Amino acid sequence: MSDTAEETTRGEEFDAFYARTYPALAARAVMLSGNRQNAEDAVQEAYIEAMRRWPHVRACASPEAWVDTTMRRKLSRDGRRWWFRWKPVELTVPAATTATVEETAEALAVLRALGTLPPRQRQVVVMHSLEGMSYAEIAAELGISTGSVGSNLHKARARLTLLLDLSWDVRPDGERLMSADQLDPLCGALRGAAAWLRDGLGTDRHVARQRQGLAARQGLG
C-alpha cells in the first residue's frame, strides 16, 4: 500500500472513530465541566492529540478510553485556572429531537443540580457515579487523596440526592422496588442525563460542525 493510500485509510478510520465516539465523549465533558465551551475545547484538543498519535491510539485496548482520559486531564488542568471564579450557571445545550418532554425535563433537572456543585465535587461525582472510576483512580488522576475523593463524593451525593428528590420506590408491604439502576438511583439519573446530552450532541449538523473545527485547528480543512 502506498503512503498516500495508507494515510487515506488512517484518515477514514479516524473519521469513523470520531463520528462514533464524539457525542458520548462530549456529553461526559459537559457534565464534568458544566461549561459547554470549555468542554468542547477539551474534547477537540483530545481528538487532535489522538489524530496525531492515531497508530498508537487505535492499537490501544480502548481508543475511546484513551481520548476520554486525555479530555478529563485537559479539563482538570484548565479548571485550576478558573475554579476560583466559579459560580452556578445555567447550561445551554442542544436537546435530543427524539427525547420526550419528561426525559428532557429530567435531564435538565440533573444538569441544573450538577451546576450547583463546586467544581471538585462535580468532578468526583461524575467520575465515580457516571464513569465508574474507583477512589484510587480518581485520586491518582486529580492529584488528591482518596480521603478527599470520599469527602467530596459524600457531599456531592448528599446535595444531588436532596435536589433531585431521589429515593427508593417502596411497595405497600414496605419492600423496596428496584429502579432502572438497581443499585443506585443517582447513577441512573446521571446516566439518563448523559444519554440525553449524547443524543442532542450527536445530531449530524453538530458533529459535522465540530469535525470541521477539529480539521481547521489541525490544519486539515
Q: Is the pLDDT of residue 172 over 60?
A: no
Helix, strand counts (H, E) of the chain: 10, 2
Per-residue pLDDT band at 169 (split at 50, 70, 90) = very low
What pLDDT score was predicted for residue 180? Answer: 39
- The percentage of residues in the chain with a pLDDT greater than 70, rounded to a whole number, is 71
pLDDT score for 109: 93
Determine the average pLDDT of the residues in 127-154. Answer: 94
Q: Which residue has the cell 436532596?
A: 162
The Cα 118–Cα 39 span in angstroms is 16
Cell, residue 134: 474507583
| 69 burial type by CB count under 10 A (0-12 exposed, 13-18 middle, 19+ buried) | middle
Evaluate if residue 208 carries a pLDDT over 90: no
Residue 49 has pLDDT above 60, yes or no: yes
Asked whether residue 171 carries a pLDDT value surpassing 60, the answer given is no
Residue 76 · residue 123 · CB < 8 Å: yes
Predicted TM-score (pTM) of the model is: 0.80
Q: Is the pLDDT of residue 128 over 60?
A: yes
Check: CB of residue 130 under 8 Å from CB of residue 190: yes
